[in-house]
């Protein structure tokens, strides 16, 4: 029996409502794809979001028996757990390759609490860094860190994590202004650093222009730098902090003409997007993913505003001795708009890039910066400068051993 007009009218409303709801749901899904939190899917298996934070000073050794599966674990969701029994694999006295800039204990820091915190993701347990296994994975390979001084921070950390198990005479280091190479001769492996603070070329790569207003970024040019990255088996990139010297950056297309004239002042996020696309285009057109693995380390936060973590009587990161324990703490030292640029560019690439999402876990570590125990323009801070942390505390770089060791623990987990 056929449908009457009355029956058709009764059915039309719920059908139309269902269609509208479906459209809204689809639009909402598309709008969230660019979020930085979706670099990797977050598993809900063994989710611990509802767990109360344990006492930050209570010893709580991490159980590393569970296998790490990057597809089942969101490493950026978790907490720092204090573990007095753990000892770093090196110190700034036992590892000869740490710059004075990161040698906090040697430079006079007398507290060591910051050395005993372990990052514990909510969904899994990170495997501990195993120097012998890491070197075994690097046998016959080149690992290169490319980026700024924070990437050099991570590079030195990685070298120090493995160098103690290499016999004397079986390792060497060649330092350069732009390109530095550590060799593990028994393993026929190199761990290298290439200085490229913007990844793309600029007029301040070397020598460095200390005044950000004088810096001009050649946002569409990368080949002169990138030719040194060819033939590398594992590339680990970063670029962020050098972009954050102002709301505008001087960007240049084409050749540097008439003494670097012809630049345009662009919003920093716009310049950053163009530069990252230049980098991504080079990766997609040049890298063979069957021969080279590509990683990208997300931005390392700075901690300049102590009021953001509730210490109204503090002075930036100076004299902080433990992490922020508030879940999801995020300060102005990490720019979410820049993070979303990274997510957007990576999402369009053909060559797979593994993102080392270190930003959230590092956001908590207000206690682990070099503070007044570092350098300024190649010289250790004087007593007068140390007495003025408001102007001289370094709340950007990290002590070694320290937080970059956890970044390399993540890298080791993905290798």
Q: Name the residues annotated as catalytic.
A: 149, 394, 397
Q: How is residue 131 written in tokens?
A: 């120097």
Q: Which residue has the tokens 């372990």?
A: 118
Question: CA–CA separation, 395 vs 302, rounded Å?
Answer: 6
What is the 3-state secondary structure of the chain?
Answer: CCCCHHHHHHHHHHHHHHHHHHHHHHHHHHHHCCCHHHCCCCCCCCCCCCCCCCCCCCCCCCCCCCCCCCCCCCCCCEEEEECCCCCCCCCCCCCCCCCHHHCCCCCCCCCCHHHHEEEEECCCCCCCCCHHHHHHHCCCCEEEEEECHHHHHHHHHHHHHHHCCCCCCCEEEECCCCEEEEEEHHHCEEEEEEECCCCCEECCCCCCCCCHHHCEEECCCCHHHHHHHCCCCEEEECCCHHHCCCCEEEECCCCCECCCECCEEEEHHHHHHHHHHHHHHHHHHHCCCCCCEEEEECCCCCCCCHHHHCCCCCECCECCCCCCCCCCCCCCCCCHHHHHHHHHHHCCCCCCEEEECCHHHHHCCCCCEEECCCEECCEECCHHHHCCHHHHCEEEEECCCCHHHHHHHHHHHHC
């Amino acid at each position: 029996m056929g449908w009457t007009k009355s029956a058709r009218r009764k059915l039309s409303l719920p059908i139309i409502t269902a269609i509208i709801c479906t459209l809204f749901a689809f639009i909402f899904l598309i709008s969230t794809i660019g979020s930085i939190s979706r670099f990797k899917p977050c598993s809900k298996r063994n989710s611990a979001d509802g767990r109360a934070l344990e006492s930050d000073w209570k010893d709580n050794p991490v159980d590393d028996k569970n296998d790490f599966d990057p597809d089942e674990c969101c490493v950026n969701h978790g907490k720092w757990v204090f573990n007095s029994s753990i000892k770093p694999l090196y110190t700034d006295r036992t590892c000869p390759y740490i710059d004075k800039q990161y040698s906090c204990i040697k430079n006079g820091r007398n507290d060591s609490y910051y050395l005993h915190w372990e990052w514990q993701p909510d969904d899994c347990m990170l495997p501990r860094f195993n120097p012998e296994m890491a070197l075994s994975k690097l046998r016959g390979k080149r690992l290169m860190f490319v980026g700024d001084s924070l990437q050099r921070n991570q590079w030195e950390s990685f070298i120090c994590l493995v160098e103690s198990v290499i016999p004397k005479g079986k390792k060497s280091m060649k330092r350069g202004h732009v390109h530095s190479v550590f060799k593990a001769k028994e393993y026929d492996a190199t761990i290298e650093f290439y200085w490229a603070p913007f990844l793309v070329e600029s007029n301040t790569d070397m020598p460095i222009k200390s005044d950000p207003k004088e810096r001009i970024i050649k946002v569409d040019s990368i080949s002169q730098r990138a030719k040194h990255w060819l033939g590398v088996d594992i590339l680990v990139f970063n670029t962020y902090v050098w972009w954050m010297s102002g709301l505008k950056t001087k960007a240049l297309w084409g050749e540097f003409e008439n003494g670097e004239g012809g630049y345009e002042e662009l919003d920093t996020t716009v310049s950053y997007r163009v530069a990252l696309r230049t980098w991504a285009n080079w990766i997609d057109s040049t890298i063979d993913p069957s021969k080279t693995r590509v990683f990208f380390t997300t931005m390392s936060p700075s901690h300049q505003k102590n009021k953001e973590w509730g210490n109204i009587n503090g002075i930036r990161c100076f004299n902080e001795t433990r992490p922020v324990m508030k879940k999801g703490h995020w300060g102005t030292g990490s720019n979410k708009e820049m993070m979303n640029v990274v997510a957007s560019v990576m999402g369009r690439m053909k060559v797979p890039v593994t993102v080392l999402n270190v930003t959230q876990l590092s956001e908590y570590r207000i206690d682990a910066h070099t503070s007044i125990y570092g350098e300024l323009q190649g010289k250790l801070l004087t007593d007068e400068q140390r007495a003025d942390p408001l102007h001289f505390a370094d709340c950007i770089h990290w002590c070694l051993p320290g937080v970059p060791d956890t970044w390399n623990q993540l890298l080791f987990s993905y290798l």
